Structure 1
C-alpha cells in the first residue's frame, strides 16, 4: 500500500503529542511492508526544534504553503490512501485539495476528537469543517464509543472508526529502577485537571506524610501549596519517562474534562505507564473499564480516601503486571498499524466514492 500523510508534525515532538503518535504508528505501518510519504508544513517553531529529520522507515518532505503541494500532486493522486491529520494548518483547504485529487481512500485522523467536535459546535473550522467531513471515506478518531456514531450521524461521515494512541514497547518497559515514589503523576498543568490532582495526589500526600509523591510537568503556577513530601520535576523528556514510571510504586492518571465528557479516550500516558508495569490509579470515565479491567489491571478512584486505600493494597505489583500484559496484547504500535491497515482496506470497499474521484 502507498500511503500519504499530511500531518501536523513528524519532525518535531516539541510542544505537541502528534509527532510521537505518528512516529510509532507509521514506523509500525511501514514494517508491515507499506510505503509512507509524510508531508509536513515547514513552520519556524518546529524547524528550530526538530528531533527527527531523516527517518529510515518513511519519506519526510516539507512544504511552505498549499501551493507547494502541487509538487506532490501525482503522489496524492496515485496513492492507495491519503490521510489528513487534525490541527494541520489550513486543514480545510488541504482536505479539499486532497479530496479533489486523490483516487484512493481519503481519511481524516483526529488526534484531538473532543476538541475538534467542540470547535465544530461553535462554528470554529480551523482544520476541518462540516462540509469536508462527508468527503472523507473514513474518520479515524482518538476517541471511541458513542462519539463515533455521533460523527457519522451529525456530520454525514461515511465511516468513523477508533484509532487510539499506542505505545512502543521497545521504549517503554520496566527498567529495574529502585522505587523512589509511592505515587507519581506526569502531566502538564491544566485548570480543569488541577482539582482532581489536588484530591487524588496532594490530599493523600498531606494525609500520608511518610509516603513519597512526585509531580512532573511544566506550567504549574507558583501559588500551589505543595506538601513537603511532594517532589516537583519541571520538565521530564520522553527519554526519561520509562525510568520515571519504573521508579514509581504507582502512578496517577488524570483526564481532561472534555475527554471525560466524551469517554473512551485513553491517554497515551495510560499505555506508557502500563507498559512499564507501573500500577495505575486513575480517575473514572466511561469506557475505561473496556481498556483495563478494574481492580485487576487498573485501580479506579474518585476520592482522596480511595487513593489512600489503593496505596495500602498489597496486590499493586500484580495489578501493574496485569496492566502490562493487557497493553502488550492490545495497545502497541504494531496493533494500531494493523488496525489502520484494516480500516483503510474497509474504506477501500466504497467503490462508488473512489471511482467517482477516479472518473
Structure 2
C-alpha cells in the first residue's frame, strides 16, 4: 500500500524530536510492504541540519514553506491508499489537515498521527472551533505515540472513531552500544530542546541536581540552552545530531530523561530519548510518570526521581558497576519488547483491517 505522510521532517532532527519516531515507523512499515512518500516543509533550518539523506525505504518530498507549495503537496494525497497528517508540522498545519483529507480518495484510510497528544488535546479543549475537532469524526483513525487510557478517552470524547497509541520504541540498527567518547564524559547527561513546557522541569531535575552536586560533571545537549543560566559544573554542547546520540548516551555514568509538563501529567508517554538511551545500554534516570512500568522496571532497569534531590542522590550513589548492570537490563528489555518492528506490526494490522472494512462498505 502507498502512504502519503505529512510530517515535520524525516530527514532532520533539528528542532524536531519526532524524527527518530518517524524513521523507525516508516522504515519498518516499508519492510511490511508499504511505500511511503513523506512530505516535509523546508522550514526552521532543518534541511540545513540534516541527519540523513533521503533513504531507500521512503520517498521524501521537501516543499517550500509557502501556501502554494503546500497546496501542491496536499493534492498528492489522492495518489495514496493511506493518508497521514501528523501533528506539529509547524507550517500551515490547519490547512494541511483539511487539504490532505479533502484530497484523499474515498477508499483511502485517513489517519491523524499525533506525536504530542497531551498538547493537542489541550488545544482542542480550549477551542471549540479547532480544525481538528471539526474534522475528527470524518477520520478513520487517530494514532498517538503515547498517552495510554487518558488520551484514548479524551480523543474518543472529541469524536474520534478510534484512537490507538503506537508508542515510541527502539531501532536497534540506529541506537546501540558504542565506546564512550572523552568529549562527552560526564556523571549525568541530559538531551532535549529548550521548550516552554519543559524548562521548569529541567531547572528542577537537572540544574538543581547539578547545583546539589558541585563536584560532579553535568552535560546538557539540545537546542536553545546557550543563554540559560546554569551552575558552573554544567557544560552545554548544543544540538546533538542523531549520529552522535549513541556516544552521548554511552559516555556518561548516567543519562537523565525529563518529560514535558503535559506528558508527565498525562502519563503513559515515554519519550524517544528513553528508548534511545536504553538501546545504547545507558543507565537511565527518569522523572516519575504513570505507566513507566509498562516499559521498564524501577530500580532494576531504570532509576526514578521525584525531584532534583532524588536525581542528585541517584548520581551520588551510582557506581560504574551498578550503572552498567541497569543499562544492560534496560537494553535487554527494550530489545525484547519495544522495537519499531513490533510497533509496525501493530500499526499494519490496524491499517489493513480498516482498509478492508472501507472497501467492504464501498462495495455494499
Distance change in 2, residues 1:120/1:302 (3 Å): same
Query: Does the C-alpha gap of structure 1 residues 332 and 264 become closer, same or farther in structure 2, counting only changes over 3 Å?
Result: same
Does the CA-based 8 Å contact 2:20-2:272 persist in structure 1?
A: no
The CA distance in 2 between the partners of 1:218 and 1:203, in whole Å, is 20
1:25 Cα deviation from its structure 2 partner: 1.5
Specify every segment of 5 or more residues in structure 2 that has no aligned partner in the other structure, as ranges: 64-68
Aligned to 2:335: 328
Counterpart of 2:306 in 1: which secondary structure? coil
Paired with 1:68 and 1:354, the residues of 2 have a C-alpha distance of 25
Match 2:107 to one of 99, 103, 116: 103
Q: Over residues 218-246 of structure 1, what are the superposed CA-to-partner deviations in whole Å (9 max), with x where a residue is unaligned?
A: 3226361413x322222322211110111
**Correspondent of 1:269 among 246, 268, 273:** 273
1:26 aligns with 2:26: yes
Q: Does 1:83 align with 2:84?
A: yes
If the length of structure 2 is used for normalisation, what is the TM-score?
0.85
Instruction: Please give the alpha-carbon distance, in whole angstroms, between the structure 2 residues aligned to 1:346 and 1:29.
Output: 15
TM-fit CA distance, 1:289: 1.9
- Equivalent residues in 2 for 1:1-359 (5 A)? 1-41=1-41, 46=46, 52=52, 54-62=54-62, 64-67=69-72, 69-70=74-75, 73=78, 75-76=79-80, 79=81, 81-88=82-89, 89=92, 90-99=95-104, 101-123=105-127, 128-177=131-180, 180-220=185-225, 222=227, 224-227=229-232, 229-311=233-315, 312-314=317-319, 315-348=322-355, 351=357, 353-355=358-360
SS of 2:133 mapped into structure 1: coil
Q: 1:200 to 1:60 in 2, by over 3 A?
A: closer
Give the structure-1-normalised TM-score.
0.86
Count residues in correspondence: 350
| Paired residues of 2:109 and 2:355 also in contact (CA < 8 A) | yes
CA distance in 1, matches of 2:211, 2:62: 50
**8 A Cα contact 2:15 2:223, kept in partner:** no
Moved more, 197-206 or 104-113: 197-206
Unaligned 5+ residue runs, structure 1? none
